[in-house]
Amino acid sequence: MSIRKLLLLSTVAIAGVGCSEETPTAPTPVAPAPTPDPDPAPPPPLTVPTTYNFESRFNTGESSVGISGQIARQLQLQDLKILIGGLSSAGAAAVTVADLNGIYDYADTGLNILTTVPDGLTASATTYEDVSSGKKIRGRQGTDKVLLGSAGIVGNAADITVDELMQSFFTTIATNAADASKLGTKAVYNTAEGLDLSQMVNKVLIGALLFDQLSSKYLADILDRDNTEPRSDGADDTTQEHRFDEAFGYFG
């Protein structure tokens, strides 16, 4: 046997012995797939209240909600829109600036509420005083503020207050209502520039009165208001509760 064959056989023999002495590697265990959790139970259905009402924490059987002032102003705002909008109807009676201010600057004169209730319901109030006395739109926070961007709306060179804008709108509407060719048509509240003063009065006051009161007065510092004690002797609510309720009364 040649030396080459001998060396080759020796190498194969050594390799075989070395392989036979190696310890086999155990396979890596595979974790079982997690069992999916069963579907969680659905939350119980919410009970939607039919009225905005909460029982007082301090006086058993009494409501902690007091928003009659907000309701009165909501009615006055809606009634202004009804009064102005009705001027475009056939047979409408003319109005004066005093008539419009009679609602906007209400002074407990016993005016009947113009807003009606849906069929099947009965109104619980006839006049604004039946809802709350001493309530009006004019003079409330927001109506006394300068309306940014109002320059030029009614021929004014600079921005004017919301109240000044309302008085200008009322004057234009009353002037048009005295014109028989405009009364009973939309021209009674539409300007030559295309402004619908029925909408302008309503939408400006929604922002200047309702939203301004809600955001910069009632909710601006609500977290700093006490929510542990009655807001006054014998009160049914806390200051914080009352602030939230007043905000809800404007935009609830």
Predicted pLDDT at 158: 96
pTM above 0.75, yes or no: yes
Predicted pLDDT at 228: 97
d(CA 211, CA 220): 12
Taking 70 as the pLDDT cut, the residues of the chain under it are 1-26, 252
Predicted pLDDT at 22: 55
Predicted pLDDT at 4: 44
What are the Cα distances from residue 88, in Å, to 159, 222, 246? 30, 43, 34
Helix H, strand E, coil C: the string for 39-92 is CCCCCCCCCCCCCCCCECCCCCCCECCCCHHHHHHHHHHHHHHHHHHHHHCCCC
Predicted pLDDT at 12: 47
Q: Which two tokens stand for residue 143?
A: 């109506």
Angle, vertex CA 69, rays to CA 212 and CA 201, nearest 5:
50
Q: Which of 159, 149, 109 is nearest to 133 (CA)?
A: 109
Report the Cα 163 to chain-centroid distance in Å.
Answer: 23
CA end-to-end distance (rounded Å), the chain: 108
Which residues touch 83 (CB under 8 Å, ≥6 apart)? 95, 99, 100, 103, 114
pLDDT digits (tens, 9 = 90+) for 129-178: 999 999 999 999 889 999 999 999 999 999 999 999 999 999 999 999 99
Predicted pLDDT at 2: 47
Handedness of CA 125, 131, 137, 141 (dihedral sign): negative
Letter for the amino acid at 211? Answer: F
Predicted pLDDT at 23: 61
